[in-house]
């Protein structure tokens, strides 16, 4: 057992190497820009002060969002998604087919609408929980993560429901940080390169700073653009590669509510907080509003019995079906109800 624990400890220590590398690069860039460029190279005080003010604004927002992404612990499923002790003991004794029957009964009262590719209830044998929609097990973090997007080595953390907004802002501010450095350093880069400025110790820092900032900007731009596209489509990276499977089949747009509401789900209702790494995302990570055409007919029937209703029309659906986010779309009920109708079909 001891070697296993030692190996785990070494893996966790080595996982911080990319984070340390990023912080060393950022620390050097701060010194190179503030000291070598602004203090020792730029002669004009007005230009120097304006550069320093804008630089520190981007620097603070970048560091803030970066460490919020690192320090936000991934959210995991709550206890209600765990099997009861009796069900767990029975589950461990049964064959796969009988195990699915147990999981189906346990999932009836839960807001779970996605399935495996074979139509089975998604269950994590390692964590011993019924997986909520959009939840996946991360082998690196050794846990199930709500609305998991991916595991990012550069932050040594899983990007998911608890920190996805922070991750997008981290990409945005790191891109702005790099492009600002590259744009303001360019003229002095040219002057050093063409020997218009004396060959001092600042030359190396200024030349290298431009190349590093431009290189990081190009690489981050593509990643940031991709995640903006994901936000607009209300998809995770995992869902972009493999569409979520409902009982009616795969639906890559199963969680999409329209561009504006997709953005609000990640960034929140109040636009004044969108640009700050403060948690404002909607929901609890366990249940998500889905397009009604992909809902499980059996779950709809259960929801109707619970709420004592006999029909579903447009968005007049029980809260059990739409989860905790139903109030996000009640204001749009009339508009959507004109175009969306749910047809109840029994399984053959």
For helices 45-71 and 164-193, the axis angle rounded to 10 degrees is: 150
* pLDDT band at residue 278 using 50, 70 and 90 as cut-offs: very high
User: Quick check: 308 and 279 in contact, CB under 8 A?
Assistant: no
What does the mean pLDDT of the chain come to? 84
Could you read off the pLDDT of 217-269 as tens digits, one per residue? Answer: 999 999 999 999 999 999 999 999 999 999 888 999 999 999 999 999 999 99
Select from 281, 271, 13 the least CA-distant residue to 161: 281
Q: Which range, of 55-59, 104-108, 181-185, 293-297, averages the lowest pLDDT?
A: 293-297
Q: Which range, of 95-99, 168-172, 243-247, 312-316, averages the lowest pLDDT?
A: 312-316
Q: Is 152 a residue of the active site? A: yes
Select from 284, 294, 298 the least CA-distant residue to 326: 284
Please give the residue that has the higher pLDDT: either 302 or 343: 302
Distance (Å, whole) CA 126 – CA 141: 12
Select from 19, 124, 9, 16 the least CA-distant residue to 76: 124
Select from 111, 55, 30, 83 the least CA-distant residue to 296: 111
Distance (Å, whole) CA 9 – CA 1: 13
Over range 185-196, report the average pLDDT: 90
Q: Is the pLDDT of residue 125 over 80?
A: yes
Over range 300-306, report the average pLDDT: 45
Residues 10, 152, 158, 178: which is the catalytic one? 152
Could you read off the pLDDT of 138-165 as tens digits, one per residue? Answer: 999 999 999 999 999 999 999 999 999 9
Torsion sign across C-alpha atoms 123, 127, 133, 136: negative
Select from 152, 162, 150, 92 the least CA-distant residue to 123: 92
Structure confidence at residue 5 (pLDDT): 74
At 281, which helix (H) or strand (E)? none
Is 0.85 surpassed by the pTM of this model? Answer: no
């Amino acid at each position: 057992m001891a070697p296993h624990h030692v190996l785990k400890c070494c893996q966790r220590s080595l996982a911080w190497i990319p984070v340390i590398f990023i912080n060393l690069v950022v620390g050097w860039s701060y010194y190179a820009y503030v000291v070598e460029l602004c203090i020792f190279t730029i002669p004009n005080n007005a230009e120097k002060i304006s550069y320093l003010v804008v630089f520190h604004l981007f620097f603070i927002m970048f560091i803030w969002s970066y460490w919020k992404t690192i320090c936000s612990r991934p959210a995991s499923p709550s206890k209600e998604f765990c099997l009861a002790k009796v069900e767990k003991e029975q589950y461990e004794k049964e064959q796969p087919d009988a195990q699915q029957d147990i999981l189906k009964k346990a999932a009836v009262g839960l807001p779970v609408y996605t399935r495996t590719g074979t139509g089975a209830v998604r269950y994590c044998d390692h964590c011993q929980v019924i997986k909520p929609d959009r939840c996946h097990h991360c082998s690196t973090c050794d846990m199930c993560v709500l609305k998991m997007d991916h595991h990012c080595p550069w932050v040594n953390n899983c990007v998911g429901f608890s920190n996805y907004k922070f991750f997008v802002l981290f990409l945005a501010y790191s891109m702005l940080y790099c492009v600002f450095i590259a744009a303001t350093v360019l003229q002095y880069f040219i002057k050093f390169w063409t020997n218009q400025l004396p060959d001092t110790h600042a030359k190396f820092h200024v030349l290298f700073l431009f190349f590093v900032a431009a290189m990081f900007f190009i690489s981050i731009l593509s990643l940031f653009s991709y995640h903006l596209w994901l936000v607009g489509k209300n998809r995770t990276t995992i869902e972009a590669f493999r569409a979520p499977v409902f009982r009616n089949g795969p639906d890559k747009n199963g969680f999409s509510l329209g561009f504006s509401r997709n953005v609000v789900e990640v960034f929140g209702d109040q636009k004044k907080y969108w640009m700050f790494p403060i948690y404002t995302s909607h929901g609890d990570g366990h249940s998500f509003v889905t397009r009604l055409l992909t809902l499980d007919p059996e779950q709809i029937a259960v929801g109707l019995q619970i709420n004592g209703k006999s029909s579903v029309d447009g968005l007049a659906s029980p809260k059990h079906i739409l989860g905790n986010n139903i109030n996000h779309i009640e204001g749009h009920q009339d508009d959507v109800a004109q175009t969306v109708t749910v047809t109840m079909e029994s399984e053959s």
